Chains A and B, each alone.
Chain A
Amino acid sequence: MKIAVCVKQVPDTWAEKKLTDADRTLDRESADGVMNELDEYAVEEALLLTEASGGEVVAVSMGPDKAEETVRKALQMGADSGIHIVDDSLHGSDAIATSLVLSKVLADKGFDLIIFGSESTDARMSVVPAMVAERLGVPQMTFANKVEVAGETLKIQRQTEYGYDEVESSTPAVVSVVEKINEPRYPSFKGIMAAKKKPIETVTVADAGVDAGQVGLAAAWSQVDQFSERPPKAAGVKIEDDGSGGVKIAEYLSEQKFI
């Protein structure tokens, strides 16, 4: 089985995320870059599948030079090789452009599965996996908490609010995973050393066969006109209990639409 796993470098989950004043895109200098947490589950699932039945795992990332660290981390965890899509013209790309570039790079490479984390901790839109599936014309098997492959049949349990649905498709397919699916491994010392020797192919927008005019900030379908700093934490509401405390709490929760 040949699996591509798409990984994204995002600002450290616990860091204060900022936009730049210049073009209102993510300020990548303000926080350490880490692999998007859900993508670690995607890498783990790809590794578990190939460890069980053989095959190869290719880690794919689109991002600036520094994003190579995230491809490297996937290699340290055990992926066999990497593809890093890096090009100045990609700066400020939206989900539509991202899915275009990824689908061009992933097409015709013989992948049986393309696995994503179900969302990134910075953009949090959960749309890229579906868009890539649509562009490639393959089934989209999203929000999986369990993945099984038998021959050319793929079965997943799709996580829902009330439980899960069992969904079946043929391969090739795009899968996105939720965090219930597994427990990602840490890169090991030997994994770190082995990753030094694993190949990472660098791909530009032109290599992918995409016109630079279709990507980047200028081509984005959505734009950020203005933004403001998150307001400092305000003091909470204090309810003095004069015998009607319970009612007042219930009223407050109802006002806030919690109940």
Chain B
Amino acid sequence: MEFTAEHEQFRKVVRSFIETEINPYVDQWEEDRIFPAHELFPKLAAIGAFGLEYDEEYGGQGADHSYTLVFAEELGYTTHCAGVPMAIAVQANMATPSLHRFGSHDLKMKYLKPAMEGEMVCSVAISEPDAGSDVAGIRTRAVRDGDDWVINGRKMWITNGTQADWICLLARTSDEGGFQGMSQIIVPTDTPGFSVGRKIEKMGNHSSDTAELVFEDVRVPVTNTIGEIGTGFQQQMMQFQDERLVGSYMAAMGARRALERTIEYLRMREAFGKPLLANQYLQYNLAELIAEVDMLIVYNREAARRFANGENVTREATIAKLKVGKLARQVADAVVQYHGGMGYAEENWPARYLRDVRLIAIGGGADEVMLRILSLLEGMGKK
């Protein structure tokens, strides 16, 4: 991926935006267990952060994937938490790609455009209380009644769930079972029968709200279906590619920044009459981690280039997601260790970093799911 002067200028704008509009508020939002999406998203939309790759007609920016890469890298690098970047990425890259790729013009005008303009907040709902990694096992059902779907079921772990205006829902729409017979449906959250069952307390990513959602006889028009009825699983698998790539872009740069901050700290902190960083054991361990993170950043950028070229990047997205989840855990462990008591204290950033990055190996497809996909791609195992 080649970066031009415009990429660097956009990166600067994003950095300055995060430093002014996000970082000063992160501590408060973490404490509140939510950030104000309806206040922040219009400001993000004004700099063109949403819909970078989408058509301008639907509130997009008409750019290519390289700008999504720059935006995600900067979100991961600069933001003082992972919760807010995750919530932004849900809106930009996780809940909306299917709608942009497969949605009807009317559906895009009604839901995609306001979301990309920051006026509406959205979520994507796939996991359920009894089915997560096993997407084919979901039970939420939409039954056709004339021109409407009538939806019943529950969805779990929904980022932005307590403040979303609409949900990109994956539901069963026929009895074929397995990977067949699912559809993606847009459900506005002001529809009767929709409710937030509860807000889920998590180990980290505190500034981002996570909810269990309840659908009881929720009636939406069949025209709210994204793309073809019955192809929801396949569409969602494509949408997962965007999610995994962007997650990896953010987390790799987050790890890079965590190591830089740790080096700064070790340079200042003195022990036994010299800076801690003078300790070769620490230098080498940090250098080892920097090397690993560097490999991933370069891999990500190559994956981004291939994705921008229109290539199928299932393999790259899977590998990047798998590696970043493991590597971020390693980095977080070292960062906390090298900060000592300071790293374990709630008032300093390493503790938050350790908590936040633990999610990467679980959300958006767990490590084990990535390994399964890769095994299948390598001709091992059976579907």
Contacts and interface: CB of A to CB of B under 8 A. Distances in A.
A218 to B, nearest CB: 35
B6 A186 contact: no
Interface in A159-217: 185-193, 196
B280 interface: no
Given A192-B6, A196-B6, A187 B13 contact: yes
A192 B13 contact: yes
Interface residues of B, number: 14
B48 A190 contact: yes
Interface string B243-285: 0000000000000000000000000000000000000000000
Interface in B26-68: 46-49, 52, 61, 63, 67
B52 A189 contact: yes
Contact of B17 (A76, A186, A196): A186
A192 B16 contact: no
Contacts of A76: 9
Nearest to A76: B9
Interface string A48-76: 00000000000000000000000010001
Contact of A185 (B6, B9, B46, B52): B46
Nearest to B8: A192
B15 to A, nearest CB: 10
Contacts of B299: none
A128 B350 CA distance: 47
Contact of B67 (A72, A189, A191): A189
Contacts of B48: 188-191
Contacts of A188: 13, 46-48
Interface size class of A (residues with CB under 8 A): 10 to 19
B16 A186 contact: yes
Find the residue from A72, A76, A192, A196 having the highest chain B CB count within 10 A.
Answer: A192
B10 interface: yes
A213 to B, nearest CB: 36
A193 B6 CA distance: 7
Contacts of B52: 189
Nearest to B7: A192
Contacts of B61: 189-190
A189 B10 CA distance: 6
Contacts of B6: 192-193, 196
Contacts of A196: 6
A109 B61 CA distance: 35
A188 to B, nearest CB: 4
A190 B63 CA distance: 9
A187 B46 contact: no
A205 to B, nearest CB: 28
Contacts of B9: 72, 76, 187, 192
Nearest first, the 7 closest Cβ-Cβ pairs linking A and B are A189-B48, A188-B48, A186-B47, A189-B61, A188-B47, A192-B9, A186-B13
Given A186-B47, A189-B47, 20 more contacts: A72-B9, A186-B13, A186-B16, A186-B17, A186-B46, A187-B13, A187-B47, A188-B47, A189-B10, A189-B49, A189-B52, A189-B63, A189-B67, A190-B48, A190-B61, A191-B48, A192-B6, A192-B9, A192-B13, A196-B6
30 contacts: A72-B9, A185-B46, A186-B16, A186-B17, A186-B46, A186-B47, A187-B9, A187-B13, A187-B47, A188-B13, A188-B46, A188-B47, A188-B48, A189-B10, A189-B13, A189-B47, A189-B48, A189-B49, A189-B52, A189-B61, A189-B63, A189-B67, A190-B61, A191-B48, A192-B6, A192-B9, A192-B10, A192-B13, A193-B6, A193-B63
